[in-house]
Structure formats: C-alpha cells, structure tokens
Amino acid sequence: MSTPATTTHVPVVIVGAGPSGLLLGQLLHKSGIENIILEQRSPDYVLSRIRAGVLEQVAVEMLEKAGAAERMHAEGLPHEGIELLYFGKRHRIDLKALTGGKQVMVYGQTEVTRDLMDVRAAAGLTTVYEALNVQPFDFLEGEKPRVRYEKDGQTHEITCDFIAGCDGFHGVCRASAPADKIKTFEKVYPFGWLGLLSDTPPVSEELIYASSERGFALCSQRSLSRSRYYLQVPLTDKVEDWSDEAFWEELKRRVDPETAAKLVTGPSIEKSIAPLRSFVTEPMRFGRMFLAGDAAHIVPPTGAKGLNLAASDVGYLWQGLVDFYQNKSEAGIDSYSEKALRRIWKAEHFSWWMTMLMHDFAEDGGFNAKMQEAELHYIFTSENGARVLAENYVGLPM
C-alpha cells in the first residue's frame, strides 16, 4: 500500500457497514462519540444480502435507542409464538405466556440495514463505501491505532482511539489478530439450508419449524406479502439443481396436509444455499481493536440468533466506549469480551440444540432421531420443557 494521500483522526473507526457496524455507529453518534465506517462493498451490495428476520427484544431495544425503529414498529410483525411440526402434527410454543409477556419481532435484516443507513445519512455521518484494502495497524500496543484503505486510487489513513471490527466472518479485522493470541471453536454441520424468498403471503401467522422423515423445513416470513421458506439439503446440492416448482413440491411433502393445502406458491425473488456452522472466536478484544457480530461468531440459523447476537455485542461495546469517553473508565471495554462471550455461548448452545432437535441426521443410524423423539415429547408435554425453549428463543437478558 502506498504512502497515504490524506491522514485524519477519528475517535472510533468501524470496519463494516452491515447491521452491527451501522448500529454501533448510530449509538455512538447518539452518545456524542465521533466515528467513521469503512465498507469494502457498495450500499446496493450490502442491501442485497438476504439474512435473518426474527428480532429479540434486545435487538428491538437497541434499534429504538439508535433512533432506527420507527418503520420496524410500523411494518414489523410481532409474534407471540412459534409452531413445531413433528411428523405431521403441529405443536404451538406460546412464547408470550411462557416468558412473562415477551415476544419476537419479524422484520428482515435487509430492512434493519436500510433503516440504519437512512438514519446515518440523515445525521450527515460518514460512511466510506467501496473502501478497498482496509488494514488495521498498531492496535495491540499503545493508544493510537491506525487504519489504512484505498479509495478511488488513493491511499488514506485514519488514526483513532479504537477499531471496531464489524466486517463479518471473512473480514480483515479477525484475520489481522495475531495467531498466537486468538483461539477459535467450530462445528460444521453435514447439510445446508436452501432458502427461497417470494412475494407470496405467509402460509401461517407464526413461524413453523418442521421435522419430517424427508428432512427439516422452515416456513418463515418477512411481511404480510413476502415469505421466506427453507429446506434442509445435502451440501452437494447446487441452487441450479432446484427449480421453483421442485422447491414448492418438496416443501409440501415436509409439512402437514393443512399447511400444504394453504401454501401459496410463486416465482422466487432470491434462492440460495447456505451451509450451517457454529463458530466462536476468543477473545473478542485485541488491544484497541474489538470484534463484534459475524467477525467473532457464527450460529446455525435454526435458533434465529445471528443478528440478535450482533446487537448484544454492539450493546456491550457501545456501553464500554461510552464509559471510556464520558467517565474516563476502562472497566467497560476491559469486560467487553467476557460479557459478550458469556451470552454468545448460551446462544451457540441453543442454536446447536435446535439444529440437533429438528434436522435429519440419517448418517448416524437413527440414534439422533430417537433423541429428537424423546426431547420433543418432553417439550410438548412439560411446561418447564417448553419454557426452556421459549426463554431462549425470545432471547436471554444482557
């Protein structure tokens, strides 16, 4: 990288303009802490990512504090329960009754990102899109880390107090951490999710998690007129192997007859296959650089925890930085990694548990199927069993 054409100072440099980076930037702005966001992709590319759509109360509250919740409250769909479909029979988990009034909000991650982009732009805050070759320096020791990037053929450098790595699983921040100071934990599952997005009304008012002898399926939604459906598929499958017609027919085979009869089909807007993995990085702080969101952890989507964990990471980091700048205390940033990881591992466990509970693991000779049967029978017949699922699904407190 060439000699910088410009050098500036900003207290906090955020790498990544996904929902975690944008949320952190807006919360810091609301607290009077100047920040800049660097994103290697274009705004349109960032908005093209089709991701999660279920928000815990913690995530809802973070968006409210960021001033980015107005459209969510107007268009989002509060859900008080979910349904588990096990070999043809649906069982409702009453989230609200089992958790003392808590619920979740169905509102797509694309819309969350769009709202955060809009409030950041309205506030006149700086986001540098298509910032190439971003590289953090001097974050392990000292008090003045640097971030370099290229834009329009010129090299720029920013000195700062802190770097927030919100740049995802493949981002540069985690990759820049010294190998002898980082530890990772990973589990890769032997299947993926084939997802289809369509402008069709949802088949049910609440999400349906289906376990069948043909494999897992999920009937989800983004709005009253847009639906998101998933099928468990082998990792060897390709998107081009699945026509829309084949997808709809297979989905009907994995749900109960009533749901299949009500299903409204239509052309796909987006179709993709996502592998499932569990992944955690420890620690989440390296001197003056912090990791948050997918840069630090990945969960299988079965528990709907990815975006929600990012929001809680951001909440802890925001509180720590506010404590630093307003109270001259390092207690919050010193405890960030420990606090975040404590909640992350609980969510990792729930996501792993839900994945093991609802998917077909044919390669294990049927043992997992018997474990599923025993566990689901307990959930369906025990209020305490159902409550454990419900408390984790709506989100554990920070």
Nearest to 381 by CA among 84, 103, 81, 104: 84
Is 301 a known active-site residue? Answer: yes
Three-state SS string over 165-233 comes to ECCCCCCHHHHHCCHHHCEEEEEEEEEEEEEEEECCCCCCCCCEEEEECCEEEEEEECCCCCEEEEEEE
Which of 29, 301, 325, 339 is catalytic? The answer is 301
List the beta bridge partners of residue 129. 39
The whole-angstrom separation of Cα 291 and Cα 258 is 45
Structure tokens at 282: 């420890």
Is 209 a known active-site residue? Answer: yes
Strand 81-86, strand 208-212: pairing: parallel
Structure tokens at 213: 């002898």
Which of 29, 79, 297, 339 is catalytic? The answer is 79
Which of 271, 305, 339, 359 is catalytic? The answer is 305
Verify cis geometry, omega within 30 degrees of 0, for the bond prior to 234: no
C-beta of residue 321 within 8 angstroms of C-beta of residue 290? no
Which of 209, 229, 230, 336 is catalytic? The answer is 209
Is 11 a known active-site residue? Answer: no
Is 107 a known active-site residue? Answer: no
Nearest to 205 by CA among 270, 247, 262, 266: 262
Q: What single DSSP character describes residue 333?
A: H
384: number of CA atoms within 13 Å, CB side? 0
Is 252 a known active-site residue? Answer: no
Known catalytic residues are: 79, 209, 301, 305, 393
